[in-house]
Amino acid sequence: MENIYDVIILGGGPGGLSAGLYAGRSRLKTLLIEKAFDGGQIATTAEIENYPGQMEHDSGPSLIERMSAQTVKFGIDKVYETVEEVQLDGPIKTIKTSENTYQSKTVIIATGANPRPIGCPGEKELIGKGVSYCATCDGAFFEDLEVYVIGGGDTAVEEGVYLTRFARKVTIVHRRDELRAAKYLQEHAFANPKIDFMWNSVVVDVKGDEIVEGMTVEDTKTGERREILADEEDGTFGIFVFVGFVPNSGLYEGQITMEGGYIVTDEDMKTNIDGVFAVGDIRVKTLRQVVTAAADGAIAATMADKYISGH
């Protein structure tokens, strides 16, 4: 049993890192497997304003750097590998990555969610050529250009405000005539002279050969379509898509109970499989935030400890 972990955590976002911190402090033999880089969505978030104790104007990457360092301090193992297959039934769970096979008594799933695309023609082809899902990564490319932000939730409005640092004008294109975003964020956006709104509108295609040159927007009330073309001098504009997220749960299909792709847990983060827990944005929940993901992680690691010790 010496090569068998007590806990394997899948995903290094706030939920996974918090689970790692609690598991490490409980002296559980713990492995965290992350595909690319720690942080999940927070790694590409410019500013976090609502994590308790967060320093003013501190960025997502900086918060994650501190979380990662704190987790590793408590002695967990960490690898950067892509999980390809999971076998979650039975007392010993098996996780196969591109490089290795690991075994564990418990698994904490913290693989989060990926940005949802609009799904219209031209979008995929022009990713990185004007279409982006990350303002922190790509905002600076649009210095003094026009930018369209698609969506009306917290992410769209928050990132729209951030993009005004670079863009000469930001237009938020939303499918209804009322934003979903928190009131506080709305107030920021409405007060910003660089932000305009295009209500009751959806993007139905994106055009351009090597770079975004235009897009077609449809009025959701009248069905009327209109073409938006890049200013002649600019030659292009930015399209930042923030229309929600899709849970990263394909790996667990057929093994775990889900609703609409999100994993169902009880309030102790337990799934329908003994010894398997899910935390953060991948689970069915009302509030998806750093603080709730971190809380989920703490609960899951504590429950994994209880499960292993039989208490």
**Which residues contact ligand NAP (rule: CB under 6 A)?**
50, 118, 150-156, 158, 175-176, 180, 202, 242-245, 288-289
137 is an active site residue: yes
Q: How far is the CB of 37 from ligand NAP (least distance, A)?
A: 19
Start-to-end CA distance of the chain, whole Å, equals 20
Q: Under a CB-based contact definition with an 8 Å cutoff, are residues 283 and 270 in contact?
A: no
Nearer to ligand NAP, 133 or 252 (CB): 133
Q: Under a CB-based contact definition with an 8 Å cutoff, are residues 93 and 276 in contact?
A: yes
- Catalytic residue of the set 137, 177, 266, 274: 137
Q: How far is the CB of 230 from ligand NAP (least distance, A)?
A: 21
Name residue, tokens 């729209």: 160
Q: How far is the CB of 202 from ligand NAP (least distance, A)?
A: 5
Nearer to ligand NAP, 24 or 39 (CB): 39
120 is an active site residue: no
Facing residues of 101 across strands?
96
Nearer to ligand NAP, 284 or 308 (CB): 284
Nearer to ligand NAP, 201 or 302 (CB): 201
77 is an active site residue: no
Nearer to ligand NAP, 55 or 69 (CB): 55
Q: How far is the CB of 48 from ligand NAP (least distance, A)?
A: 7
- Catalytic residue of the set 138, 154, 281, 296: 138
CA 182 from centroid of its chain's CA atoms: 18
Q: How far is the CB of 195 from ligand NAP (least distance, A)?
A: 15
Q: Is the dihedral of CA 180, 121, 238, 133 positive or negative?
A: positive
- Catalytic residue of the set 134, 205, 219, 268: 134
Q: Where are the beta strands (DSSP E) in 35-87?
A: 77-80, 83-87
Name residue, tokens 């989060």: 112
Cα distances from 216 to residues 107, 168, 201, 206, 225, in angstroms, run 45, 21, 10, 7, 7
DSSP sequence for 73-135: HTT-EEEE--EEEEE--SSSEEEEESS-EEEEEEEEE---EEEPP---TTTGGGBTTTEES-H
Q: Which pair of tokens denotes residue 167?
A: 């863009």
Catalytic residue list:
134, 137-138
